[in-house]
A and B are shown apart, each in its own frame.
Chain A
Amino acid sequence: DAGVIQSPRHEVTEMGQEVTLRCKPISGHDYLFWYRQTMMRGLELLIYFNNNVPIDDSGMPEDRFSAKMPNASFSTLKIQPSEPRDSAVYFCASSSGWGAGYTFGSGTRLTVV
């Protein structure tokens, strides 16, 4: 298995632009997580899905952020409009269940200028 696949690896965009991050989880994993990592705040859970249904989005910072999971093999995290404070590494992770641990992708490094 290729693991959790995220795209793009790097994204540089101007303030105010829409940004879409993509994730392909490991086949058979029922849980999908979006995390954000910064030096100041560490690793923060934004939202997670179970069987394509959003379970908890309390970590989504504001209405500018939205996430979807239209099917078991694809999820997106969208930021519209983007702001410089959104600059961070965004990780997607998937899991087959709590005890199995989470498998993280390599992340998308987002820079908003």
Chain B
Amino acid sequence: QKEVEQDPGPLSVPEGAIVSLNCTYSNSAFQYFMWYRQYSRKGPELLMYTYSSGNKEDGRFTAQVDKSSKYISLFIRDSQPSDSATYLCAMSRSSNDYKLSFGAGTTVTVRA
């Protein structure tokens, strides 16, 4: 079993819809949780990160962490065609842990 599980999708939604993405993990030592966005034929770019449980909002993006369930989510409100990309979750054990564990990524298409 992989440390981080992420449904690869693909996920297709109409413009303006809410996109819901999630990852589950097995290692309770993970404390920091990140979401990266990867456009086709580009490298991943950091969207946001959260520490421990709770919510964090950044514009149209909201990240949620539920450590008790070992479950994290990313919500994209008012989705746009420019949000079409692959979204990868990543986790680490501490702020000194540079060996991020990545999910497989979920491919999202927002239809105009």
Taking Cβ atoms with an 8 Å cutoff, the residues of A that contact B are: 4, 31, 33, 42-43, 45, 48, 55-56, 59, 91, 93, 95, 98-99, 101-107
Chain A residues within an 8 Å CB radius of B97: 98
Contact status A93-B98, CB under 8 Å: no
Closest Cβ–Cβ distance, residue A45 to chain B (whole Å):
6
| List of 5 A-B pairs having minimum Cβ-Cβ separation, nearest first | A104-B43, A101-B46, A43-B102, A42-B104, A98-B95
**Chain A's interface: helix, strand, loop or mixed, by majority?**
strand
Q: A31-B98, A33-B98 are in contact. Are A106 and B41 (CB under 8 A)?
A: yes
Since A42-B103, A98-B98 are in contact, a sample of 17 more A-B pairs with Cβ atoms closer than 8 Å, ordered by chain A residue number, is A4-B43, A42-B88, A42-B104, A42-B105, A43-B44, A43-B102, A43-B105, A45-B99, A45-B100, A93-B43, A98-B92, A98-B95, A101-B46, A103-B45, A104-B42, A106-B41, A107-B42
B96 contacts A by Cβ under 8 Å:
yes
Cα of A42 to Cα of B95 in the assembled complex, Å: 23
Are A101 and B49 in touch, CB under 8 angstroms?
Answer: yes
A105 to B105, CA, bound (A): 18
Majority-rule SS of B interface residues:
loop
Q: Give me 29 A-to-B residue pairs in the complex whose CB atoms sit less than 8 angstroms apart, sorted by A's number.
A: A4-B43, A33-B98, A42-B88, A42-B103, A42-B105, A43-B88, A45-B100, A48-B98, A48-B99, A55-B98, A56-B98, A56-B99, A91-B44, A98-B97, A98-B98, A99-B95, A101-B34, A101-B46, A102-B44, A102-B46, A103-B43, A103-B45, A104-B42, A104-B43, A105-B43, A106-B42, A106-B43, A107-B41, A107-B42
Number of A-B contacts (CB under 8 A): 49
C-alpha gap A45/B100 in the complex (Å): 8
**CA distance in complex: A101, B104 (Å):** 19
Cβ-closest chain A residue relative to B47 = A101
Task: Known A42-B105, A43-B88, A45-B100; judge A104-B95 contact (CB<8 A).
Answer: no
A107 CB to nearest chain B CB (Å): 6
A108 to chain B: closest CB distance in Å?
Answer: 11
**What B residues does A93 contact at CB under 8 A?**
43
Query: Please, how many angstroms separate the alpha-carbon atoms of A43 and B101 in the complex?
Result: 8
